[in-house]
Amino acid sequence: MTIPSLEGLGRTTVFSGILVSTLLFTTSLLQGEDSDVAAEARKVSSDKEVVFEGPSGMDFRTHAILGASVGEEDAYGHLEFLHPLWSDENSLLFLYPRLGISSDVDAGFSMGAGMRHYLPGLDAIFGYNLHYDRYEGSRGDYYDQLGLGLEVMSRRIDARFNYYIPEGDSNVVDSVTSSQTRTAIDYGDPFGRHYSILQPVTTTRTTTTRTFEQFEKAMRGYDWEVGVLVPGVDEYVDLRLFIGSYGYDNPYGEDLNGVKARAELRLSSKLAVDATYYEDEEVRGDNWVFGMRMNIPIYPENLENGGNPFDGSFDGLFDGVRGGGGRGGKNPVASARKIGSSASYITANDRFNPLSKIVAGASSAGVWDRMTEEIIRDPYIKTTLSNYIENRDLLDIDRIITKDIVVIDGSVVFVDSTRGPGGNGTFENPFNMIQSGVNAAAALFGNNGDVVVHGSPAYTEDVVDAGAGVKVWGGGVGVPALGGRRFRFGGTPTLNGGFDFDDIPHALISGFNINGGFAGGDGINFDDIGDVVIANNVINSPGDDAIDIQSDVSTNIRVVNNVAVGGPGSTWGNHGIEIDVDNDGGGSTVLVSGNVVTGFGEEGLDLTVDLDSGATFMGTIVNNQFLSNGVSGGGGGAEVDVDINDGGVANLAIRNNLFQANTGDGLDLDVDAGDGSRSQT
């Protein structure tokens, strides 16, 4: 359903109210034509009682009801009409339109109809009514409801019940969007091209936009009240005290149920004030609401003589006369009985004057004059707000997929022993010797070169540096790439020989099977290299040390996850891993982790540290296995000697290592702090 604009609805409500008011007033004018008949019918005779004469049909007056209600924050007014449509001696059918008045918002419009029956035997009125209400909600949307009401009015007790049935669905009064972007990256297998290692990367950027809406909905509900006339003061005014309750079904949360109480003071049949207490301020915006209602008849016959149709409407506004049988002032029925020797003819327009009931045979006017009393109900439609609820129909998922080729390493020389001579070191045309690759890496890329060596058949050569830092990767272990993948180039290469690198900034040897050692000596020999990584290698039967690192410069040494195996031909002077750090100033770190060293003539690990002139050292030896070393009778599992001088500082951690079946000591630790300081665990 399309909701008209707020401005348009406001104008529609006002124009509708004006139109209804005009129709009612015109009808009243038409009724005023009977006034001539009434004037001619009035005459006095000493031998006649009061009688009723007048046309049948719609022969009674329209009433205008002006009202206002005030709370702590809000104030509203209303204009209502009780316009009779049909009646007989004890029944009244009437139209009951209502127009809200407010300076802030369109206060709404109601159209109602009611039927009231006077029960002479009970001196009570029973009524029922039907209303259509249209009001603005808290967020500017309009809501409709059907109202059903029952009422009982008597001398001492009043009771009312109203039921409110909203029409239509809920309205969206607010919405918010939430966007979340997630990036998923898929890394493909790296591949070689020219002097580079490349990797396909697919990036999927998914933006999910969710819409959350807040709804406002009119609530189905009821209210009721029962009131009694307070005795004592009813000689002057009517004071009634009411107690009741209300209940509204909240589809979005806790129902609105509570107690209400009302005190009503009727100063006359035309003027009433009241104060109402609601247990929940959500019912009317405040716990206390104070109201005033003025119910006046309209006299259109006054217009015939140029008079005011409201002339006489306000008479007795504060005189306390209710005309309900002994409720203040003179009893109008008793006064009527004292009319003298002439007959009084009461026109149809005075039908609901208590005097007219004398003609109908009633002994007292009773509550008859309340047939045109205003209807007490709550026309303001109660609405409730939901939490924000996701509208799945508005879910929007936007995916952007980007495919890229990322350069993992752009300075790589490839070596493959299966190729013939004449290669240029590209992936498409690799060298067939490791030394050729090391030389080309230095020439092409300086200290940034990498060499990737393909697997079998074995390489038989001794490899030396070319004067530049270099990383030499075995193809089986491969080069690390993105997403945990690695570029692999065949299997693990075997080198019958060894590596000997000196005086370069950095060096890495990873993923080789090394047999015999360089020139029959060390498997890997590094001297005075600033950054050292020796990892994932298997070194078998070297002629001297499996790994030998000597450094007189500040260095960062990592010997990780290697297997070193001595064997036939090993002599008294060899070690599995020998590291000698001699620092005069500067600082060095050594990490020996995850290695398995077995079957060497002397110590599996020989670490010697000499610190001078404030040099610093941090050493960590963890998770290694030193097995069956010292077979020549001169050593054991590991020997660590630290000599600290001239303010040097050493921190050493040795833990979680296995020393087993070594000839000498499992661990021989000698730390001489001298005039330096140490920390060891």
Q: What is the tens place of the pLDDT at every residue in 107-127?
A: 689 999 999 999 998 999 999
Cβ distance 536 to 562 under 8 Å?
Answer: yes
Residue found under tokens 């259109």: 300
Confidence band of 681 (pLDDT split at 50, 70, 90): confident
Closest residue by Cα to residue 386 from 164, 138, 179, 165 = 138
- pLDDT at residue 23, rounded to an integer: 41
Q: Strand 196-218 to strand 171-187: parallel, antiparallel, or no bridges (unpaired)?
A: antiparallel
HSE (CB half, 13 Å, CA atoms) of 381?
Answer: 33
Share of the chain above pLDDT 90, in %: 64
Residue 306 contacts by C-beta under 8 Å, 6 or more apart in sequence? none
Q: What is the tens place of the pLDDT at every residue in 243-261?
A: 999 999 999 999 999 999 9
- pLDDT at residue 303, rounded to an integer: 86
Q: What is the tens place of the pLDDT at every residue in 82-99?
A: 999 999 889 999 999 999
Say which residue, 201 or 633, is predicted with more confidence.
201
Dihedral pair phi/psi, residue 347, rounded to 5°: -70, 170
Say which residue, 39 or 248, is predicted with more confidence.
248
Amino acid at 539: I
Evaluate if residue 346 carries a pLDDT over 80.
no
Say which residue, 344 or 605, is predicted with more confidence.
605
Share of the chain above pLDDT 70, in %: 81
Evaluate if residue 232 carries a pLDDT over 80.
yes
- pLDDT at residue 125, rounded to an integer: 97
- pLDDT at residue 430, rounded to an integer: 98
Q: How far apart are CA 161 and CA 164, in angstroms?
A: 10
Q: How far apart are CA 354 and CA 252, in angstroms?
A: 51
Evaluate if residue 137 carries a pLDDT over 90.
no
Whole-angstrom CA distances from 464 to 110, 196, 419, 421, 507 are 102, 23, 21, 20, 11
Residue 342 contacts by C-beta under 8 Å, 6 or more apart in sequence? 43, 44, 45, 46, 48
Residues in a beta bridge with 295: 65
Closest residue by Cα to residue 49 from 368, 360, 401 = 360
Which tokens is 424 given? 């240029």
Q: What is the tens place of the pLDDT at every residue in 649-659?
A: 999 999 999 99
Evaluate if residue 407 carries a pLDDT over 50.
yes
Cβ distance 607 to 621 under 8 Å?
Answer: yes
Q: How far apart are CA 409 and CA 207, in angstroms?
A: 32
206-240 in b/e burial notation, b at 16+ Cβ within 10 A?
eeeebbebbbbbbbbbbbbbebebeeeebeebbbb
Q: Strand 389-390 to strand 256-268: parallel, antiparallel, or no bridges (unpaired)?
A: unpaired
Residues in a beta bridge with 114: 94, 129
Confidence band of 289 (pLDDT split at 50, 70, 90): very high
- pLDDT at residue 52, rounded to an integer: 30
Domains and CATH numbers, the chain: 6-172+216-385 (2.40.160.160), 411-531 (no CATH), 545-681 (no CATH)
Cβ distance 145 to 110 under 8 Å?
Answer: no
Closest residue by Cα to residue 639 from 578, 565, 551, 554 = 578
Confidence band of 568 (pLDDT split at 50, 70, 90): low
Q: Please state the rounded mean pLDDT for residues 429-434.
A: 98
Q: What is the tens place of the pLDDT at every residue in 606-650?
A: 999 999 989 999 999 999 999 999 887 667 899 999 999 888 899
Helix (H) / strand (E) element for 229: namely strand 221-229
Closest residue by Cα to residue 574 from 528, 610, 540 = 540
Helix (H) / strand (E) element for 41: namely helix 35-41
Q: Strand 494-502 to strand 462-464: parallel, antiparallel, or no bridges (unpaired)?
A: parallel
Q: How open is the CA angle 376-377-380, to the nearest 5 degrees?
A: 140
- pLDDT at residue 276, rounded to an integer: 97
DSSP state of 561: S
Average pLDDT, the chain: 84
